[in-house]
Amino acid sequence: MSIYRCIQPEYVRHFQCDGKACDARCCRGWNVQLDSNALARFQEAPERLRQEILPHLGKNEVTGLPEIVRETDACPFLGPDLLCSLQKRCGEGFLADVCAEYPRCTTQFPDLLERTLCMTCPVAARLALLRKEPMQFEECELQTERETYFQQADDGKSIQSLHFFDLQRAGIRILQDRSHSLPNRFARLEHCLAEAERLLADGKGDQISRLADGISHKKDLQEESPSFPNRLPKVLQVFSGMIEKSVDDDPLTKEFLTCISRILLPDGLDQKELVPRWEQLYDTFAQEVLGTYGHILENYFVNEYFSALYPCAAVGSFSHNARILAMLYYISELLLLCQSAEKGSTSEEDILSILRWLAVRTNHFVGYIAMLSELLNTMENAPM
């Protein structure tokens, strides 16, 4: 058993898995990869249990790695009580790393861990996102035997040279600054990270820790973010491009595309009538969605900024990483406004559903952020 110093949002320590609260979603629709230790435990289990487990083991067709194979939508070891039958009989220590650790996401740095929960878990999402207060972080001790499940950060020298933890704190402070609108916070974040790169280039990285205060009070950034009608064409292009690139066959994605077409691009509407329609949509529903429920979106993107290691989540400049995160926000904003317009209102569950859809892609679609990064680069470098 190893003991680590760990930084995490406070909500993490309150999490408890509850299959009945979410219909055991994490035990459905996925073939579970097996780490070598779990595979050995399964193969060395008592004869009766081994005979029950081994018929459900196979190899992933792409990676060739061992996994638990489903014959139906659900894991073969999910019981009628929506609890894992293996855990009930043998304890959590018997499970594969992914089963024991999900929805926890842990990154190992040279002298500490950072841990969050993945927002694809409905129980975790409600715990993390619905509090109206800004997300708070804490330092604690973490005891674990599952170090192989950790994501490894870059080496300590690189982290120190980038002043990475100062960048984390500055970005979170800007994203939680409720004196500005959410779109304006993302504009300020990009400005902050671009300035941080300039400081690093000039050998002044020690000034990064003070950046957030200065950015928060800059009045010339008040209207920096583009208006909804001005940013919408690019968001639509990115949204459709990412669906095509990721071969997204989720029925919910098709519903979103249909809703967007009906609300934003109805048949028979002249091109010159689109912008007034988009302005009216934003004016009508933005206050309800972004005002009443803005804390949910804020908490989601603070969690994402922290857990995905922004501004180093994708290859490219810090400001490019800020544009990636902003685009993910704009996509969620687009889906929320269109859904609100179609239904005439919105709710916490509507927002959680859309953010869970987004989290599935950013957390479970292999290479999704890299594809988004490439698409944004292509669009930004395209000739005018």
Provide the residue ranges of all domains of the chain, joining segments of one domain with +: 2-152, 226-381
- With a cut of 80, say whether residue 225 has pLDDT above it: no
Using alpha carbons, list the distances in angstroms from residue 16 to 11, 22, 38, 126. 11, 12, 22, 12
Cα angle value 17/151/28 (rounded, 5°): 40
Q: What is the pLDDT of residue 354?
A: 96
Using alpha carbons, list the distances in angstroms from residue 114 to 109, 120, 292, 307. 8, 18, 30, 8
pLDDT, mean of residues 246-267: 91
Q: What is the pLDDT of residue 289?
A: 86
Q: What is the pLDDT of residue 164?
A: 94
Q: What is the pLDDT of residue 219?
A: 62
- With a cut of 80, say whether residue 188 has pLDDT above it: yes
- With a cut of 50, say whether residue 384 has pLDDT above it: no
- With a cut of 80, say whether residue 31 has pLDDT above it: no
pLDDT in tens, 33-77: 888 899 999 999 999 999 999 999 998 887 888 999 888 888 999
In the chain, % of residues over pLDDT 90: 64
- Mean pLDDT score across all residues of the chain: 90
Asked if the bond preceding 103 is cis, omega within 30° of 0, the reply is yes
Q: How far, in Å, CA of 113 to CA of 64, rounded? A: 30
Q: How far, in Å, CA of 24 to CA of 121, rounded? A: 9
- With a cut of 70, say whether residue 224 has pLDDT above it: no
Q: What is the pLDDT of residue 218?
A: 65
**Which element (helix H / strand E) includes 117?**
strand 113-117
pTM of the model: 0.92
- With a cut of 80, say whether residue 278 has pLDDT above it: yes
Q: What is the pLDDT of residue 64?
A: 83
Q: How far, in Å, CA of 146 to CA of 148, rounded? A: 5
Query: Quick one: pLDDT band at residue 137, thresholds 50, 70, 90?
Result: very high
pLDDT, mean of residues 132-145: 94
- With a cut of 70, say whether residue 20 has pLDDT above it: yes
Q: What own/partner pairs with CB < 8 Å and gap ≥ 24 does 254-260 have?
A: 256/335, 256/338, 256/339, 256/357, 259/335, 259/338, 259/339, 259/342, 260/236, 260/334, 260/335, 260/338
